[in-house]
């Protein structure tokens, strides 16, 4: 009897130990350790691979326009064919057998397929999790703590991690496709897209694991949306208390991690106030953040909308725009780097206070009180290659901030699902610049005769190439050849150059040319075919002929990070004279003037004898 | 000590933006020539030789307020030399500093004060332009 009881007690103890042991397992997602160095392989392997379950994902290697190319991503081990500039990828997410979402990251060499990676063991402040679900991007020289190019075409690729610099391309984008609203009516939730994650079955850490999800959801559904919900479920699709969602409320030493108006927002560069830190200028459209109010905390579901954050988004464009109605803008590639985001300078549409039925036109932003651009600006934008017309995609992209709390991997069978479902808006009226089928492409207006332009404007970075332009039918002497005309460019520091402009086409009557700007601490040299400027110099181009006269100006600035670029390519502080020296500040060497003065100076010890 | 103190004071009172010391560090060689080397060479030539020669020839003429004929003549030459490589406005701007350099040279009967003043003037020019 005693022996039997001993066996029972032993058996119960074993079962109890097993149960206790199993419940001690927690929810670490398979991925990269933030502290581990990048390991280069041949063929290349996706950093942080394995956490995103690709069972229902088709990873296509594409060009930058997402046309499929004949390269392969191996969803089994994360290896992929070597990529080159011009390659990209698109991961098609299937749910219930339907292609419902496309996941995009940055083009190679900034990003790599498949588009989502998991980073564990990072170290963040302000209550944010030390782990994250983020996109598969790499660090620029500016963002890389090592101070060197960390893109995939460099010798030392450096993957982004949770704590990487602000705006270093950490969010993955899920384009919500038409299948997510198919068969649904306005006012209803659409069809969900599931993103599945694999937990590490060997993880024996007893604590729940928190992951910040760095994500955007983009409206490519074809209809206006006014909300969304995010759910977390176990592998069977059921609510499971072992995995929950959090909005970070009270998780920053009792304070909230994110403010109420920053949990689901459109681009801060378009809608948001300057903060003197991350955003030096106010948003293009508004100083009030645009986005949706979010609710739900420590539950399996959080919802966004239909209440908005109070910006002028709806006054400008209506409810959350679908891609077919994204507005057109004019962008300035301020750093002449296609890998970085360009700045919006104008958009095609109506001002937020415009009466219903107002025809669309070109407008500058809120800071310029929605002014219509001048002919000079249109001229600059049409002739300077750094200005381009394009769609303002950020009006579709809602950035989300939330946390997934992952508990026992045993209770979750080593998988969990993040399910995203859009909510369809009741109002499906097209915006002013579009019809039911899509946006109507605008064109730049015909420029009236006579304006002169200088760009970049209103400011340029010293070292930039300045583009000078004139529209003048008088100077189009021969419609069969490219005619020329001249302008005068001056600075308030005394530089003056006469520049010959050449007609852009044989009969365009638009003339342009470029001139380099260069920093100088000496007095400017006139006629040296470059604009010698200092910080805050005003550069003015003037055009005068028999029938027209016009001027345009721009202001010199310096970007600290580009200081090396702002200085001439020789590496010297250009024309390092200043202070009124008698040597030639532009020759960067001693000339006859210097030797004459120096020889005179050498007579100093003998002057008394000489004078006698 | 005077130059940096002056610059910081000037900036705190009048300048709208802080000094960009990163620019200054770019070209130490250029700053050496500009702030140390050229003032010595120019003062040896102008105040050390030219002004003394002219002073010897014009000592019979009275001074114009605080400035001797030799000082004024040397400063005119100093400005003229600057026309070679600089804009007229810039060249003319060096006239007053040159007069002051010459005044100190005569008062102290040494070119050391004018050399130090010239260094200070060049340093101010560079720092104020950069800032």
pLDDT digits (tens, 9 = 90+) for A371-399: 999 888 998 888 888 888 999 999 999 99
Q: Does the pLDDT at position A31 exceed 70? A: yes
Which two three-digit tokens encode residue A310?
Answer: 């109070």
Q: Which of A143-147, A222-226, A524-528 has the lowest mean pLDDT?
A: A524-528
Nearest by CB to residue A601, choosing from B48, B52, B56, is B48
**Contacts for A211 with CB less than 8 Å, ≥ 6 apart:** A29, A118, A129, A131, A132, A133, A403, A404, A406
Of A1, A472, A410, nearest to A202 (Cα)? Answer: A410
What's the rounded mean pLDDT across residues B47-76? 88
Nearest by CB to residue A611, choosing from B29, B56, B131, is B56
- For residue A12, cis peptide bond before it (omega within 30 degrees of 0): no
What's the rounded mean pLDDT across residues B51-78? 87
Q: Which of A332-336, A412-416, B15-19, B82-86 has the lowest mean pLDDT?
A: B15-19
For residue A588, what pLDDT is reported?
Answer: 46
Which of chain A's residues have a Cβ under 8 Å away from the Cβ of B33? 576
Rounded to an integer, what distance in angstroms lies between the CA atom of residue A196 and that of residue A305? 24
For residue A447, what pLDDT is reported?
Answer: 82
- Cα B14 from chain centroid? 22
Strands A397-406, A209-220: pairing kind: antiparallel
For residue B30, what pLDDT is reported?
Answer: 65
Q: Which of A222-236, A260-274, A513-527 has the lowest mean pLDDT?
A: A513-527
Tell me if A579 and B89 make a contact (CB, 8 A cut-off). no
Of A74, A377, A27, nearest to A202 (Cα)? Answer: A27
A69 contact B CB<8A: no
Tell me if A522 and B31 make a contact (CB, 8 A cut-off). no
What's the rounded mean pLDDT across residues A490-517? 90
* DSSP category for residue A156: S
Q: Report the residue of chain A nearest B20, measured CA to CA.
A: A560
What's the rounded mean pLDDT across residues B99-120? 91
* pLDDT, mean over chain A: 86
Which of chain A's residues have a Cβ under 8 Å away from the Cβ of B90? 494, 523, 580
Nearest by CB to residue B53, choosing from A573, A593, A611, is A611
Which two three-digit tokens encode residue A5?
Answer: 């009881």
Rounded to an integer, what distance in angstroms lies between the CA atom of residue A471 and that of residue A375? 10
Nearest by CB to residue B89, choosing from A494, A558, A579, is A494
Where residue B62 falls among pLDDT bands split at 50, 70, 90?
Answer: confident
**Half-sphere exposure for A182 (CA within 13 Å, toward CB):** 10
Tell me if B84 and A593 make a contact (CB, 8 A cut-off). yes
Which two three-digit tokens encode residue A63?
Answer: 């060009």
Nearest by CB to residue B41, choosing from A560, A598, A611, is A598
Of A190, A427, A399, nearest to A325 (Cα)? Answer: A427
Of A289, A330, A295, A331, nearest to A313 (Cα)? Answer: A289
Question: Are residues A306 and A313 in contact, defined by beta-carbon separation less than 8 angstroms?
Answer: no
Of A133, A106, A136, nearest to A118 (Cα)? Answer: A133
For residue A529, what pLDDT is reported?
Answer: 86
Q: What percent of chain A has pLDDT over 70?
A: 89
Tell me if B49 and A604 make a contact (CB, 8 A cut-off). yes
What's the rounded mean pLDDT across residues A579-597? 59
Rounded to an integer, what distance in angstroms lies between the CA atom of residue A213 and that of residue A362? 37
Burial pattern A340-377, b for ≥16 Cβ within 10 A else e, equals ebbbbbbbbbbbbebeeeeebbbbbbbeeebeebebbb
* DSSP category for residue B45: I
For residue A549, what pLDDT is reported?
Answer: 82
| First vs last C-alpha separation in chain A | 134
Query: For A202, phi and psi rounded to 5 degrees?
Result: -90, -5
For residue B24, what pLDDT is reported?
Answer: 45
For residue B10, what pLDDT is reported?
Answer: 46
Which of chain B's residues have a Cβ under 8 Å away from the Cβ of A526? 87
| First vs last C-alpha separation in chain B | 19
Strands A496-503, A484-491: pairing kind: antiparallel
For residue A260, what pLDDT is reported?
Answer: 93
- Read off the pLDDT of residues A43-91 as tens digits, 9 standing for 90 and up: 999 999 999 999 999 999 999 999 999 999 999 999 999 999 999 999 9
The CATH number fitting domain A452-580, selected from 2.60.40.1930, 2.40.10.480, 3.40.50.1820, 1.20.120.430: 2.60.40.1930
Which of chain B's residues have a Cβ under 8 Å away from the Cβ of A607? 48-49, 52-53
Query: For B109, phi and psi rounded to 5 degrees?
Result: 50, 40
Nearest by CB to residue A578, choosing from B29, B34, B41, is B34
Most confident range, picked from A565-574, B10-19, B65-74: B65-74
Q: Does the pLDDT at position A152 exceed 60? A: yes
Q: Report the residue of chain B nearest A586, measured CA to CA.
A: B85
Where residue A113 falls among pLDDT bands split at 50, 70, 90?
Answer: very high
ipTM of the complex: 0.79
Q: Which of A423-437, A463-477, B7-21 has the lowest mean pLDDT?
A: B7-21
Which of chain A's residues have a Cβ under 8 Å away from the Cβ of B34? 521, 576-579, 581
Which residues are registered as beta bridge partners of A63?
A: A87
Rounded to an integer, what distance in angstroms lies between the CA atom of residue A533 and that of residue A522? 9
For residue A279, what pLDDT is reported?
Answer: 80
Where residue A340 falls among pLDDT bands split at 50, 70, 90?
Answer: confident
Q: Which of A127-141, A210-224, A465-479, A571-585 has the lowest mean pLDDT?
A: A571-585
For residue B130, what pLDDT is reported?
Answer: 54
A590 contact B CB<8A: no
For chain A, the structural domain boundaries read 32-333+346-355+389-435, 452-580, 582-612
- Read off the pLDDT of residues B9-27 as tens digits, 9 standing for 90 and up: 544 544 434 444 444 444 5
Which of chain A's residues have a Cβ under 8 Å away from the Cβ of B30? 572-573, 576
Rounded to an integer, what distance in angstroms lies between the CA atom of residue A379 and that of residue A197? 52
Which two three-digit tokens encode residue A445?
Answer: 């207006």
Of A163, A158, A120, nearest to A136 (Cα)? Answer: A158
Q: Does the pLDDT at position A366 exceed 90? A: yes
**Contacts for A344 with CB less than 8 Å, ≥ 6 apart:** A269, A270, A284, A329, A330, A331, A332, A365, A392
Where residue A23 falls among pLDDT bands split at 50, 70, 90?
Answer: very low
Q: Which of A272-286, A329-343, A389-403 has the lowest mean pLDDT?
A: A329-343
Question: Are residues A172 and A115 in contact, defined by beta-carbon separation less than 8 angstroms?
Answer: yes
What's the rounded mean pLDDT across residues A512-523? 81
Q: What percent of chain A has pLDDT over 90?
A: 59
| CA dihedral (A391, A83, A48, A409) positive or negative | positive
Where residue A595 falls among pLDDT bands split at 50, 70, 90?
Answer: confident
- Coil, strand or helix at A313: helix
Tell me if B81 and A582 make a contact (CB, 8 A cut-off). yes
* pLDDT, mean over chain B: 76
């Amino acid at each position: 009897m005693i022996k039997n009881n001993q066996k029972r007690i032993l058996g119960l103890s074993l079962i109890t130990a097993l149960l206790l042991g199993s419940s001690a397992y927690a929810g670490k997602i398979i991925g990269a350790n933030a502290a581990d160095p990048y390991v280069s392989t041949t063929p290349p392997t996706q950093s942080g691979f394995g956490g995103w379950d690709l069972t229902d994902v088709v990873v296509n290697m594409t060009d930058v326009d997402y046309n499929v190319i004949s390269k392969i991503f191996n969803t089994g081990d994360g290896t992929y064919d070597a990529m080159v500039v011009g390659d990209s990828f698109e991961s098609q997410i299937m749910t219930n057998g339907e292609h419902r979402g496309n996941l995009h990251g940055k083009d190679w060499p900034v990003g790599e397929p498949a588009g989502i990676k998991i980073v564990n063991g990072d170290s963040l402040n302000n209550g944010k999790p030390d782990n994250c679900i983020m996109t598969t991007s790499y660090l620029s020289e500016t963002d890389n703590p090592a101070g060197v190019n960390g893109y995939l075409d460099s010798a030392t690729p450096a993957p982004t991690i949770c704590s990487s610099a602000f705006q270093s391309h950490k969010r993955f984008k899920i384009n919500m496709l038409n299948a997510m609203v198919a068969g649904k009516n306005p006012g209803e939730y659409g069809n969900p897209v599931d993103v599945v994650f694999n937990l590490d079955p060997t993880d024996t850490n007893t604590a729940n694991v928190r992951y910040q999800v760095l994500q955007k959801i983009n409206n490519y559904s074809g209809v206006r949306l006014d909300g969304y919900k995010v759910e977390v479920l176990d592998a069977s699709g059921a609510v499971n208390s072992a995995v929950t969602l959090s909005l970070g409320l009270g998780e920053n030493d009792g304070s909230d991690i994110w403010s109420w108006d920053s949990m689901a927002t459109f681009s801060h560069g378009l809608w948001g106030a300057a903060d003197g830190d991350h955003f030096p200028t106010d948003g293009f459209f508004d100083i009030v953040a645009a986005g949706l109010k979010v609710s739900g905390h420590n539950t399996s579901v959080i919802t966004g909308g239909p209440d908005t954050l109070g910006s002028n988004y709806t006054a400008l464009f209506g409810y959350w725009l679908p891609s077919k109605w994204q507005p057109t803008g004019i962008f300035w590639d301020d750093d002449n780097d296609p890998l970085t985001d360009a700045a919006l300078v104008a958009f095609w549409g109506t001002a937020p206070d415009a009466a219903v039925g107002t025809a669309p036109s070109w407008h500058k932003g809120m800071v310029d009180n929605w002014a219509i651009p001048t002919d000079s600006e249109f001229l600059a934008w049409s002739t300077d290659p750094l200005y381009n017309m394009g769609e303002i995609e950020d009006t579709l992209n809602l950035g989300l901030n939330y946390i997934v709390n992952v508990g026992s991997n045993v209770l979750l069978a080593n998988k969990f699902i993040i399910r995203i479902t859009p909510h369809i808006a009741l109002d499906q009226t097209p915006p002013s610049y579009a019809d039911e089928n899509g946006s109507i492409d605008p064109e730049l207006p015909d420029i009236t005769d006579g304006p002169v332009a200088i760009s970049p404007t209103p400011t340029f970075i010293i070292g930039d190439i300045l583009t000078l332009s004139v529209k003048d039918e008088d100077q189009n002497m021969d419609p069969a050849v490219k005619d020329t005309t001249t302008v005068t460019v001056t600075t308030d520091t005394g530089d003056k150059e006469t520049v010959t402009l050449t007609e852009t086409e044989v009969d365009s009557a638009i003339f342009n040319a470029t001139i380099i700007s260069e920093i100088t601490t000496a007095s400017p040299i006139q006629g040296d075919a470059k604009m010698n400027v200092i910080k805050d110099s005003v550069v003015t181009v003037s055009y005068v002929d028999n029938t027209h006269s016009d001027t345009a100006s721009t202001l010199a600035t310096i970007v600290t990070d580009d200081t090396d670029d702002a200085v001439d390519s020789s590496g010297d502080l250009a024309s390092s004279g200043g202070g009124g020296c008698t040597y030639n500040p532009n020759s960067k060497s001693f000339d006859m003037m210097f030797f004459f003065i120096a020889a005179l100076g050498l007579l100093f010890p003998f002057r008394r004898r000489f004078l006698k | 000590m005077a130059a940096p103190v002056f610059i910081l004071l000037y900036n705190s009172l009048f300048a709208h933006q802080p000094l960009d010391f990163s620019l200054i560090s770019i070209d130490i060689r250029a700053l050496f020539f500009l702030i140390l080397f050229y003032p010595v060479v120019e003062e040896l030539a102008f105040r050390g030789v030219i002004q003394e020669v002219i002073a010897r020839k014009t000592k019979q003429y009275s001074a114009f307020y605080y400035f001797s004929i030799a000082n004024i003549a040397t400063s005119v030459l100093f400005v003229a030399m600057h026309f070679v490589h600089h804009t007229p406005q810039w060249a003319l701007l060096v006239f007053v500093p040159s007069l002051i350099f010459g005044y100190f040279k005569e008062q102290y009967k040494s070119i050391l004060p004018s050399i130090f003043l010239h260094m200070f003037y060049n340093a101010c020019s560079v720092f104020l332009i950069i800032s």
